[in-house]
Chains A and B, each alone.
Chain A
Amino acid sequence: MRAAPVILVLLISVLAPLLASSNPDGLESTAEKLGASGMETVLHPAPLADYTFPGIQGDLSAVFAMLTGTGAVLILGFLAAEVLRSGRSGD
């Protein structure tokens, strides 16, 4: 795996939660305008809910949560792609 793109992605993961606007997003704003915000439910205990890492406070919590998520996507993506590609040689 080439290092430069991975480093760039990790850098975005660290910076994004620090730079991101905390305004509601387009769908949340629409829901607020149209009185639907209260309908939102959470069905399962997500370990990193609201992009916070349990037991850590402040900005660092968001950074750790993001790095965990980015790492999870990176590993799952690599494994999935390898499994799918390896299926090809057996065709």
Chain B
Amino acid sequence: MHIPDGFLPLSHALVYMAVAAFFVSRALRWARSGLEEAPMLATLAAGIFAIQALNIPVPWGTSGHMTGGVLASILLGSPWAGVLILSLVLVVQALLFADGGITALGANILNMGVISSFAGYYTYLALRRRAGTAVASFAGAWLGMMLAALATAVELGIAGTFPLKEGIIFMGLYHAVIGVVAEGTMTALVVSTVLRLMPGSAASPAGRDAA
């Protein structure tokens, strides 16, 4: 759901950039005080970049890929990790690959970095004791993707690029499915695997945030 250049008027794009810049600066502050491992952040960012290239076919002739903000947040124990990692991935995609617009970078960071990570991470925290980490990470990742897709539809609706109602319906419908087959399933799979291999990691109920 990378918004390309041309879909947002420059004035709108600049507003989203200012909002994104606020969150990115907070994420940098988190990294300065809370980040434990540079190699883990770098490897996770590279992995999310790589998995974003894996478009999975879904019905109606469309496809979708995992975005990864919720996974990054769960594995590193903070939604700021998702903001930081998605910002890095989105900047590289926009500059090197023209995947997502340069002017749309703020909106894309806001949707897939900020909204997805925060909604998904706190859903995960709320559910993991009752439902277990696999179900909680699936639900968090699905909701994170849905809210990012709906935010994208609203931004493009305000811009006049999509009619608001139809945009919300189509973006919501496609990403409800992509959220199951890509974001939810893969996030739950990776979180469960990491917890089995590293039981004391930040993703576990005994991890950093729960302490």
> Residues of A at under 8 Å CB distance from B?
1-2, 5-6, 8-10, 12-13, 15-17, 19-31, 33-34, 36, 39-44, 46-51, 65-66, 68-78, 80-82, 84-85, 87-88, 91
CA distance A69 to B37 in the complex (A): 21
Given contacts A5-B47, A13-B53, contact A77 B63 (CB under 8 A): no
A26 near B64 with CB under 8 A, answer yes
Which among B1, B38, B58 is the interface contact of A78 at CB below 8 angstroms?
A: B38
State whether A26 touches B97 (Cβ < 8 A): no
- When the two chains form the complex, which single residue of B1, B5, B88, B170 contacts A25, counting CB atoms closer than 8 Å? B1
B42 at the interface (CB under 8 A from A): yes
CB distance from B2 to the nearest CB of A (A): 7
B:28-83 near A, CB below 8 Å: 28, 31-33, 35, 37-39, 41-47, 49-51, 53-58, 60-65
Chain B residues touching A, majority SS? helix
Bound state CA distance, A22 and B64, in angstroms?
10
* Chain A contact residues: helix, strand, loop or mixed: helix
Q: Please measure, in the bound complex, the distance between the C-alpha atom of A50 and the C-alpha atom of B94, giving whole angstroms.
A: 11
| Contact residues of B between 111 and 138, Cβ < 8 Å to A | none
Task: Tell me which of B47, B56, B94, B103 contacts A12 (CB under 8 A).
Answer: B47
Interface size class of B (residues with CB under 8 A): 35 or more
Inter-chain contacts of B64 with A (CB < 8 A): 25-26
Q: Which 10 A-B pairs have the closest CB atoms?
A: A77-B42, A81-B38, A26-B174, A41-B6, A46-B98, A23-B63, A78-B42, A16-B53, A21-B63, A21-B57
> A24-B62, A47-B96 are contacts. A39–B41 as well, Cβ < 8 Å?
no
Q: Which residue of B lies closest to A78 (CB)?
A: B42
